[in-house]
A and B are shown apart, each in its own frame.
Chain A
């Protein structure tokens, strides 16, 4: 077990990256002590889910992001864009990105969601100082991150957070939380 893993294991909260470096509709996979977790930005909100399909263990995070299609009967198709689903690349089973709930078997099958939020740089800097948050070794080499107080950061929780407690809106703190041009490389990370 290497140094990074041991360090990350201590915390229940990790800094994933800067909000303004994470493109809309982008996704990234972070490695949390051997567990791969996918972080998604969908319509300016962040979501996270374990990169493991509860069906047969497929790399769920690499699937397609789609909206729910609902119907009242044959020939009636409605796209419900309030429901974002991730489909497993192996068998195309759909899971609600927010709750992990399986679309066809909601009672018995669930992908593992994680709480993910947005916090101000000043707050994050204080928590790092106090040793309350970890930095994830990820595509950004986040352990070398220099927390800038004027930026917002994406934070990932390893334990479930009470509903409403976590602010996951990218633009809630700074309306300018929209991604900058410099973040195009994110797409490469994922594809």
Chain B
């Protein structure tokens, strides 16, 4: 999400209410950054091997891709979004946010090591606490987990989940299995036990091709098709009965867009009406379950022509589903002032802050 802010417009010129940015990023600049937070055995292992950290982030966000960071947000000789001071200067101050939810996608999932991956997740979480949460009270954050090991993931959630700054568990949208499957119960159990939102975040590692079927040839192709991963994960969670098993579970979709939601909802509803006998625990229309349990970041918004976008927002059937985000430092060229203009009056303050405030209990 970008705005007139880039043209030196004050945000209060188009929005005077409060702002919660539900998706800003922190990038681990180098593996050495984590050494203070990593058990010495892994520090030595890293040095011994000359390892540079997980491959995941560079696959999901190729450093030079235009979408990975706006030019304005690329500091000289530094990785974008790798310092609190950058986030403060680029987002927290000019946007005058009440709160912002910090997400660090470090690709822990791309590490298959059963001990190193959990250790790295702990290090990232402790780094987030020390370098970000403790230094700016406006920040809340997602904790990261070794997502391919649900038991270890649950242990990490229990280790740091009670820290008041953590409001969400980050679940990378690509995975080796669909998240509705019962093997993932420990993650949802731990998240709900600690009263944390589960945030589906762009990134992750599949055991096979990174799309639901086959390999994309180009980054543009992969990036444009990412929606289907969110759709696959949420559909799995709906039909597997994740939301019946964990009735207090709150999910957030980040970087997944939202314009696809109504049509996908219609499709799920239609299939459920005739095929629901297979999954009798799904006790109401799938789209009603989505409205109760899932919120969507508006970065990217992927808006089309005004009249069409307006209709899609109407089809969502609720004022409560969308949450403002910049997705800093990633580049999306949707304009928040245009989006605000599209949504009904009753939705604006919810979109800009109140939905996120309620969802994350900020």
Which B residues touch A76, using CB under 8 A?
281
Could you mark each residue 209-252 of chain B with 1 if its beta carbon is under 8 Å from any beta carbon of chain A, else 0? 00000000000000000000000000000001110110000000
Do residues A74 and B273 form an inter-chain contact, with CB atoms below 8 A? no
Indicate if B275 sits at the interface (CB-CB under 8 A). yes
B40 within 8 A of A: no
Q: A74-B182, A74-B240, A75-B182 are in contact. Are A69 and B273 (CB under 8 A)?
A: no
CA distance A191 to B275 in the complex (A): 23
CB closest chain-A residue, reference B274: A92
Identify which of B244, B277, B285 contacts A74 (C-beta below 8 A).
B244
Q: When each residue 77-96 of chain A gets 1 if its CB lies under 8 Å from chain B and 0 otherwise, what string results?
A: 10000000000000111100
Q: Which of A69, A75, A104 contacts B272 (CB 8 A)?
A: A104
* Size bracket of the A interface: 10 to 19
Q: Which of A73, A92, A104, A105 contacts B281 (CB 8 A)?
A: A73
Interchain CA distance A92-B270 in the complex, whole Å: 11
Counting CB contacts under 8 A, is B280 at the interface? yes
* A72 to B245 alpha-carbon distance, docked (Å): 9
- Secondary structure call for the B interface: helix
Q: Indicate if A66 sits at the interface (CB-CB under 8 A).
A: yes
Chain B residue numbers with a CB within 8 Å of A104 are: 272-273, 276, 285
Tell me the A54-68 residues at the B interface (CB within 8 Å). Answer: 66
Which of chain B's residues have a CB closer than 8 A to the CB of A74? 182, 240-242, 244-245, 281
Contact residue among B240, B273, B280 (Cβ-Cβ distance under 8 Å from A77): B280
Q: Who on chain B is nearest to A69 by CB?
A: B280
Contact of A71 among B182, B242, B274, B280 (CB under 8 A): B280
User: Is the CB–CB distance between A92 and B275 below 8 Å?
Assistant: yes
Q: Which residues of A contact B272 (CB under 8 A)?
A: 104
Which parts of B263-277 form the interface with A (CB within 8 Å)?
A: 272-277
**Closest CB-CB distance, B180 to chain A, in whole Å?**
9
**Closest B residue to A109 using CB positions:** B273
**In the complex, chain B residues 49-77 whose Cβ is within 8 Å of any chain A Cβ:** none
Q: Most chain-B Cβ atoms within 10 A of its Cβ — which of A74, A75, A92, A103?
A: A74
Task: Tell me if A70 counts as interface (CB < 8 A to partner B).
Answer: yes
Asked if residues A66 and B277 are in contact (CB atoms below 8 Å), the reply is: yes
Least distance between B34 CB and chain A CB atoms (Å): 37
A47 to B: closest C-beta gap in Å: 20
Q: Which residues of A contact B283 (CB under 8 A)?
A: 71
Q: List 16 A-B contacts (CB under 8 A).
A: A71-B283, A72-B281, A73-B245, A74-B241, A74-B281, A75-B182, A76-B281, A91-B273, A92-B274, A92-B275, A92-B277, A93-B273, A93-B274, A103-B276, A104-B272, A105-B273
The 5 A-B residue pairs with the shortest CB-CB distance, nearest first, are: A74-B241, A92-B274, A71-B280, A71-B281, A91-B274
B contact set with A: CB distance below 8 Å: 182, 240-242, 244-245, 272-277, 280-281, 283, 285
Beyond contacts A77-B280, A104-B272: 10 other A-B pairs, Cβ-Cβ < 8 A, are A71-B280, A73-B244, A74-B182, A74-B242, A74-B244, A74-B245, A75-B241, A92-B277, A93-B274, A105-B273
